[in-house]
Amino acid sequence: QYLQPIVGEGVVSVDLDDGHTADIGIERLHLEQDAGKLIHDQHPRKSHVDLNRSGVALMEIVSKPDMRSAAEAGAYVRKVRAILRYLGTCDGNMEQGSMRADVNVSVRRPGADLGTRAEIKNVNSIRFMQQAIAYETTRQIDVIESGGSVDQETRQFDAPTGTTRPMRSKEEAHDYRYFPDPDLLPLEFSDEFVEKIRATLPELPDAKKRRYMDELGLSTHDAGVLVSDRDIALFFEGVADGRDAKVAANWVQGDLFAQLANAELEIANSPISADQLGGLIDLITDGTISGKIAKDVLVLMFESGKGAAAIVEEQGLKQVSDSGAIEGEVDKVIAANPDKVAEFQSGKDKMLGWFVGQIMQATKGKANPQMVNQLLRDKLKP
């Protein structure tokens, strides 16, 4: 497979935090059998060998030297992981060993060729990978600036100290002594087979992101967040079905994400389903509750697992849209605060917010805010 890999060259485009996009080349993908896993964090002076996964098939994706920072490497691994999860070929859980990264790091002076590289083996989280790259980059720069030369070697990352340390000298390609394995038969894929597989591919992150932007009107940022994980995208689409996509995106990324983060849960384990969150949005849309009350209802939904309509009914949270009742509260607040009325009528438009707050407080947040605003504007005119 070294000469004839299962998958040839390709490109993965990644969005960076500074708003730019980087294209990272794929050299090849080939199949291997897992030989086991070395564990270095169980003893200060010993390494253990875990053979539980020995013989399990794995994909090795070889990337081109196109990444220029730890941040780019992190974005690249996240994107590859997202693609694999969309395809269903790997769950991408690095902490469980389903996906690992070997990182090659080299430094160079501006305009010079790439320097000697060191390989950091089996890093099991993106955060650790970025820490390892940052440390190794600084280490190699220090070696060169002190007049030394970087050794080609394999190193391991020590998570507690955030440093790398040598494991063994690095072999060249010819040292691996590639030869045909008589127990492994050649794999031959016809063009028809490849096209058949291509026809079954799901919508991948980049295509989904473009659709969210073009058809749903989402921003580049919002679309990128929602497609970054297959479970998030599926949840969002369930919420947005038949509803305003921007409103759905705001609720998923905002209040729901906050609740999940506080509970340390992934969206796949959310106690609130997509249908339930959609039901909450429907209650706002039809005027049953206000957006402010809806935020409180979401918290109760998260804690109880109940639907929004049931909670609103039990708690008596329906929005007051009776113009007569709201007008009565407006009149009371205006009559009790002639000085504030004078301030507003003298040009201090911000006082309107103060009046709205007083009325919402008096109605325990149940008054229809649009009706409150309109009544106040009508009654406070000089």
Residue 327 is part of a domain; what is its CATH number?
A: 1.10.10.410
Looking at 282, 315, 348, which one is the last position of a domain?
Answer: 315
| 245 and 156 in a common domain | no
In a domain, 258, yes or no: yes
Is residue 5 included in any domain, yes or no? no
Q: Are residues 307 and 329 in the same domain?
A: no
pLDDT of residue 367: 83
Two structure tokens written together for 104: 């090659």
Does the predicted TM-score (pTM) go above 0.75? yes
Can you say whether residue 88 is alpha, beta or left, with left for phi > 0 and alpha for psi between -120 and 50 degrees?
left
- 1 occurs within a structural domain: no
Residue 35 falls in which region: left (phi positive, over 0), alpha (psi -120 to 50) or beta = alpha
Are 175 and 69 in the same domain? yes
Shared domain for 117 and 222, answered yes or no, is: no
Does a structural domain hold residue 90?
yes
Give the β-pairing of 153-158 and 118-123.
parallel
- If asked whether residues 165 and 297 sit together in one domain, one would say no
CB 268 within 8 A of CB 236: no
Tell me what pLDDT residue 52 has.
86
Q: Is residue 114 part of a domain?
A: yes
Q: Name the domain boundary from 130, 165, 198.
A: 198
Do 181 and 226 fall within a single domain? Answer: no
- Same domain assignment for residues 299 and 364: no
Residues 64 and 138 in one domain: yes
Say yes or no: 40 and 171 in one domain.
yes
Using CA atoms, how far apart are residues 100 and 119, in angstroms rounded to an integer? 13
Q: Are 367 and 358 in contact (CB under 8 A)?
A: no
**Residue 194 belongs to what domain range?**
10-198
Per-residue burial over 156-177, b if 16 or more Cβ lie within 10 Å, else e, is: bbeeeeeebeebeebeeeeeee
Place of tokens 């002190």: 146
Query: Is position 134 within any domain?
Result: yes
User: Of 173, 198, 223, which closes a domain?
Assistant: 198
Whether 35 and 179 share a structural domain: yes
pLDDT of residue 33: 84
Q: What is the pLDDT of residue 20?
A: 87
286 shares a domain with 252: yes
Sign of the CA dihedral with 365 first, then 366, 368, and 373 last: negative
pLDDT by position in tens, the chain (length 382): 677 888 889 999 998 888 889 999 999 998 888 887 777 777 777 888 888 888 888 899 999 999 999 999 999 999 999 999 999 999 999 888 889 999 999 999 888 888 899 999 878 899 999 999 999 999 999 999 999 999 999 999 988 899 999 987 765 655 666 677 788 788 888 999 999 999 999 999 999 999 999 999 999 999 999 999 999 999 999 999 999 999 999 999 999 999 999 999 999 999 999 999 999 999 999 889 888 899 999 999 999 999 999 999 998 888 777 778 888 888 888 998 888 888 888 888 888 889 888 988 888 888 888 888 888 888 888 7
Residue 234, in any domain of the structure: yes
Q: Are residues 118 and 148 in the same domain?
A: yes
Q: How many domains would you assign to the chain?
A: 3
Q: What is the pLDDT of residue 32?
A: 85
* CA atoms of 254 and 277, how far apart (whole Å): 12
What residue has token string 């249908």?
275
